[in-house]
Amino acid sequence: MADQLTLEVATPSRFVIGEQVDEVVVPGIEGYFGVLPGHAPLLSTLGIGELTYRIGRDERHATVSGGFCEVRNDKVIVLADSAELPGDIDRARAERARDRAEQRLTGRSSEEVDYARAAAALARALIRLQVAARAQ
């Protein structure tokens, strides 16, 4: 058994993280789960949330939204619909997305509302703001 994990995070358009890490916490569709070296093989659908990875005592964070996570042979592969490191996140854009989604969900929008879509957009915006705040 290796004493570290290889973490790779990619989206359809870019490679976001490639690191040797000690621990990863992944936002699965049914909640967060932790992965340490020696973890049993696993395939999980991703939710919308914060991916946390630890290198020694250094804890780092990224957003992920949708996709899959595979754990096998001390390798954690995350293929996400979108993923951002704190420095990638445009806070003003996320604030606008949050405000739009809140307007739709609170009935202050004149258009017909797809509530599930608006709720997912709100969750993505809030996670982006949470992860961006960690960069400050």
Residues that bind ligand ATP (CB under 6 A): 65, 82, 84, 88-90, 93-94, 97, 121, 124, 128
Nearest approach in angstroms of CB 14 to ligand ATP is 8
Nearest approach in angstroms of CB 63 to ligand ATP is 8
Measured CA to CA in angstroms, residue 52 lies from 24, 36, 37, 111, 117 at distances of: 6, 12, 15, 37, 25
Which C-beta is closer to ligand ATP: that of 13 or that of 110?
Answer: 13
Which C-beta is closer to ligand ATP: that of 16 or that of 35?
Answer: 16
Which C-beta is closer to ligand ATP: that of 59 or that of 90?
Answer: 90
